Amino acid sequence: MCGIFGYVGARSASPILLEGLRTLEYRGYDSAGIYVPGQAPVRAVGPIDNLAAKLTAPLPGSAGIAHTRWATHGAPTELNAHPHLDMSGTVAIVHNGIIENYRELKEGLIMQGITCTSDTDTEVLAKLIGSVYRGDLLAAVREALSFVRGTYGLVAMSERRPGEIVTARMGSPIVIGIAADGNLISSDPSALLAHTKDVIYLEDGECAVVTKDSYEVMTISGKKLNKSPETVEWDVESVQKQGYEHFMLKEIFEAPSVIENTIRGRLMPEKGRAKLGGVERVLDTLVDLDRLTIVGCGSAYYAGQVGRYMFEEYAGLPTEVELGSEYRYKRNLPDKNSAVIAVTQSGETADTLASVREAKSLGLLTLGVVNVVGSTIARETDAGVYNHAGPEVAVASTKAFISQLTVFVLLTLLIGREKGLSAEEGKRIAAELAALPGVLEQYLKNTDNIATVAKKYAAYRDAMFIGRKFHTPIAYEGSLKLKEVTYTHAEAYAGGELKHGSIAMLDEQFPVIALVPKDDVYEKMVSNIEEVRARKAPVLAIATEGDMHIKAVADDVLFIPKMHPILQPIVTTIPLQLLAYYIGVEKGLNVDRPRNLAKSVTVE
């Protein structure tokens, strides 16, 4: 949540800062601001365009910091926008995270005659740093942070030393970019790609001083660290729209290439096996587990629910799925012969990260399914799998979710073949997975029927999604996408649960989206559709190509290609993503940046 960008170098800073904010706008878009030493901060409410309108000319100066905000403490107002200043007006900071003890810190500052004018915890931190500043900004930041409880990705500058940026991290990502004409700081490596692919990731409890020609990293307690740059595998083109109207649409249409990238070098169709270098050294442990727990939040949680069906049905591995926000707080009874898989696109999701640390404290093996190389969860887990889905810019997860499902298929093949999955079945799964990118590429050549159906269903205020078995979590994911992107009231249920309460809501104005591919629960789903029809609710069925019977029981049908049952959820997901997208567009909404949401949830 929120985006940080900083630059110190040879060029004019403010245009670089502004462009950096545009790249980060998906992380927060209620307000934004820029600070260049020697100038007053420039702030604006709303999108980055509003800030750009205030910058009629570049601010003089070759260093500065900037922020785009997703509000936590204080409403989205210009007064609450970052950067914030100390009492002298010479020290400025931008900050991601939450200062949990900001109220008591604020009371202590007031006793010193230091007051705050905003509603934010960040201004308290700015005032605190200023109160201990004696000419050495690094020393002031380190001293101030010794009083702080909470999370922060912090970047600070002083007017007295305009060629120096100080940054620190605790629970909220900070990345330093090493470029030819200066150095940069960001909360997301994707924002640095226009300038460099060479980056340094700060760990929790670390800080750094960055100048035009140098960087120095240390612990907040002062111990010097030797860190060398890593190379980001993405390129700048991957975070551009490339002719699509929205990032969300582009990322949905990237599904075929995402699956190709996820399985590349990992699939052995002729053997019916998968090869995952990141988990090979712990494969024997995985095969002998008594229990596996998958932890995630949002779409990653639903991907984990599909993964549970895969592991239990094809690998014979007892599996549980937990919300990261619950696992970290519940009593987790120690079981040494179990493991935890954390699923997260960003690798920085706060609740999922806390769950990993909880699992490690219990002595459990931890694995990550992560898209961002070098992210905290990728570094802190014992083993894992990178998605290789590329950067995902739209707030609603689409291609990352597809990649997560694909990784679970690979893991199921890997573990299943060691636990009794037959070679014949393994070869069938592997062959169809290898063919899946081509199947989806063909399917996506014409989505006009989905756009047409979306116009009809955009008129409804409510929707219910139902599915069974593998498609129960996909129903929940479809419901989530519709809520996120269109603000439609949407719910989801296992088809068999309709009679246990939820069917009471159905009428002519409450449509049901039924996931009814031809599988072993097909007839049960058709019965559920009949129950819905008896209550006069409109039915939109997502069904297998060639299923003519479904047309007799549904008002509208979107057909999908038939695949192996373990792969069918991946295919079924695509029309649900497109349905949400087209309904959002029909309603005139910003589908890339839904209200009240941010891409990476790094606050608790």
| Predicted pLDDT at 4 | 94
Say if residue 25 is in the same domain as residue 63: yes
- In eight-state DSSP terms, residue 362 is T
Task: Tell me: do 364 and 262 sit in the same domain.
Answer: yes
In this structure, is residue 23 part of a structural domain?
yes
Residues 6+ apart with CB under 8 A from 462: 488, 489, 490, 505, 509, 510, 511
3 state DSSP class of 218: strand
**Band (315; pLDDT cuts 50, 70, 90):** very high
Q: Residue 76: give the domain boundaries.
A: 3-234
Single out the residue in 410, 443, 476 at which a domain terminates: 443
One domain, residues 541 and 582: yes
Query: At residue 139, does pLDDT exceed 60?
Result: yes
Q: Provide the CATH number for the domain around residue 224.
A: 3.60.20.10
Flag whether 344 is in a domain.
Answer: yes
Structure confidence by residue, pLDDT tens digits, 37-58 = 999 999 999 889 999 999 988 8
Would residue 271 count as lying in a domain?
A: yes
* Residue whose C-alpha is closest to residue 215's, from 199, 231, 203, 204: 199
Is the pLDDT confidence value at 306 over 90? yes
Q: What is the pLDDT of residue 598?
A: 67
DSSP string, 54-111: H-SSPPS-SEEEEEEE--SSS-S-TTTSSPEE-TTS-EEEEEES-BTTHHHHHHHHHH
pLDDT more than 70, % of the chain: 97
Q: Do 298 and 197 belong together in one domain?
A: no
Residue 280 phi, psi (nearest 5)? -60, -35
Are the C-beta atoms of residues 305 and 321 closer than 8 Å to each other? Answer: yes
Contact partners, residue 552, CB within 8 Å, separation at least 6:
none
Q: What is the per-residue DSSP string for 97-163? A: S-BTTHHHHHHHHHHTT----SS-HHHHHHHHHHHT-SS-HHHHHHHHHTT--B-EEEEEEETTEEE
Catalytic residue among 2, 116, 207, 297: 2
The pLDDT value recorded for residue 496 is 92
2 flagged as catalytic: yes
pLDDT in tens, 214-226: 999 999 999 999 9
Count of Cβ atoms closer than 10 Å to residue 534 Cβ: 10
The beta-strand segments (E) located in 355-441 are 365-370, 383-386
CATH number at residue 359: 3.40.50.10490
Taking residues 435-445, report their average pLDDT.
Answer: 97
Q: Is there a single domain that holds both residue 160 and residue 57?
A: yes
How much is the pLDDT for 375? 86
**Number of domains the chain is built from:** 3
Q: Tell me: the pLDDT tens digits for 492-521?
A: 999 999 889 999 999 999 999 999 999 999
Q: Is residue 112 part of a domain?
A: yes
pLDDT tens, position by position, 554-563:
999 999 999 9
Calpha distance 153→205 (Å, rounded): 10
Co-location of 371 and 456 in the same domain: no
Both 120 and 189 in one domain: the answer is yes
Final residue of a domain: which of 421, 443, 465?
443
What's the mean pLDDT in 314-328?
A: 95
| 458 in the same domain as 437 | no
598 within domain boundaries: no
The pLDDT of residue 600 is above 70:
no
| Average pLDDT of span 473-484 | 98
Does any domain span residue 126? Answer: yes
146 with 251, same domain: the answer is no
The arithmetic mean of pLDDT across residues 219-240, rounded, is 82
Domain end point (choices 428, 443, 458): 443
46 & 193 share domain: yes
Q: Exactly one of 197, 250, 562, 599 is catalytic; which is it?
A: 599
- The Cα-based distances of 399 to 345, 403, 479 in angstroms read 10, 6, 17
Tell me the DSSP string of 184-210: EEESSGGGGTTT-SEEEEPPTTEEEEE
What tokens does 71 get?
Answer: 């509000």
Collapsing DSSP states into helix, strand and coil, what is residue 44? Answer: strand
> Are 513 and 392 within one domain?
no
- Return the SS3 of 38: coil
Establish if 600 belongs to a structural domain: no
| 239, part of any domain | no
Residue 502: CB atoms within 10 Å: 16
Give dist(CA 245, CA 595) in Å, integer: 19
Backbone angles phi, psi at 398, to 5 degrees: -125, -70
Return the bridge partners of 414, or none: none
Distance CA 498, CA 530 (A): 12
Instruction: Please check whether residues 290 and 219 belong to one and the same domain.
Output: no
Over the stretch 386-423, which tens digit does the pLDDT of each residue have?
998 988 889 999 999 999 999 999 999 999 999 999 99
